[in-house]
Amino acid sequence: MKKIITIISMLFLISLSSFSQEKPLVVGMELAYPPFEMTDAKGNPTGISVDMAKALGEYLGRDIVIENMGYGGLIPALKTKKVDIILSSMTITDQRKKSINFSDPYAKSYLTLLVSKRSPVKRPSDLNTRGVNIAVKKGTTGHVVATKLFPKANIMVFEKESVCVLEVTQGKADAFIYDPLTVFKNWKKNPNTTRPIFDQFQKDVEYWGVGYRHGEDALGREINGFIKEFKESGGFDKLAEKYLTEQKKTFDEKGLPFFF
């Protein structure tokens, strides 16, 4: 009888182990940053980060579930186990490391300015002036850097990138601080009301990583293994060719650092 109970217990544990391995990986991202995180015409998740998440799922042997949420809610959602990882063009910072862990970097970027044509701002240092209005997206590194580097300015915090851009196009904000891809895209959309300033005003380039919870080191090692293999196999080059052909050409022409 004891042997039967033991066998049943072992089978139960094996079943639980198999279930655990097959449990979908819930990936938190804000689908509002094309072409990295966005939705298609039918509302389905698509973009560089989505393709990357699917490739990670294949590497881990797990299904992927994309959980779309506001950028500022990503880290709280990870800490409360509503999502398993964050893959949403998130910059690795010392402040964020206090709350979560990050994988090895998989991309890099830096901050630039989308400036209103009505504004007298000519260079980044001009932002640190009383009466200057700076639009930032809540929770981004642009938000953090604006507060740190431009304390004399009025920092206007918004939930969405589109609202920040609108403030600049309408002349209500002097500048919007964000990455060069977004700045370039919105300048092209609004050439009569905006102009870009691509001067790099940070000391360091920003690196993006996959966020995961403290204590989950085994998952972190698996993610790092995936990033290494994906890079060596040309995965990032294929994503750039699929989603960023025109942008990469423009970046190269202007001598701007590219993401991968």
pTM, two decimal places: 0.75
Alpha carbon of residue 245 to chain centroid: 19
Kindly give the interhelix angle for 217-232 and 235-243, rounded to the nearest 10 degrees: 70
Kindly tell me the sign of the dihedral angle through the C-alpha atoms of 61, 62, 66, 72: negative
**Helix-, strand-, coil-residue percentages of the chain, each rounded to 5:** 45, 20, 35
Neighbours of 227 (CB within 10 A): 22
Report the pLDDT value the prediction gives residue 127, as an integer from 0 to 100: 97
At 180, the pLDDT band (50, 70, 90 cuts) reads confident
Q: Which of 52, 9, 4 is nearest to 27 (CA)?
A: 52
Is it the case that residue 104 has pLDDT exceeding 50?
Answer: yes
Q: Report the percentage of the chain scoring pLDDT > 90.
A: 76
Is it the case that residue 20 has pLDDT exceeding 80?
Answer: no
The answer for 14, left when phi > 0, alpha when psi is -120 to 50, beta otherwise, is alpha
Edge-to-edge strand list for the sheet holding 133-137: 154-158, 133-137, 175-178, 112-116, 194-197
Report the pLDDT value the prediction gives residue 21, as an integer from 0 to 100: 55
Is it the case that residue 166 has pLDDT exceeding 70?
Answer: yes
Q: Which of 163, 180, 20 is nearest to 113 (CA)?
A: 180
Cα gap 173→153, rounded to integer Å: 11
Please name each of the domains of the chain with its CATH number.
Answer: 21-108+206-244 (3.40.190.10), 111-197 (3.40.190.10)
Cα gap 160→180, rounded to integer Å: 17
Model pLDDT for residues 22-35, shown as the tens digit of each residue? 699 999 999 999 99
Q: Which of 74, 244, 71, 238 is nearest to 158 (CA)?
A: 71
The answer for 43, left when phi > 0, alpha when psi is -120 to 50, beta otherwise, is left
Strand partners, 164: none
Q: Which of 242, 259, 260 is nearest to 181 (CA)?
A: 259
CB 198 within 8 Å of CB 254? yes
Model pLDDT for residues 195-249, shown as the tens digit of each residue? 999 888 877 788 999 999 999 999 999 999 999 999 999 999 999 999 998 888 8
Cα gap 58→102, rounded to integer Å: 20
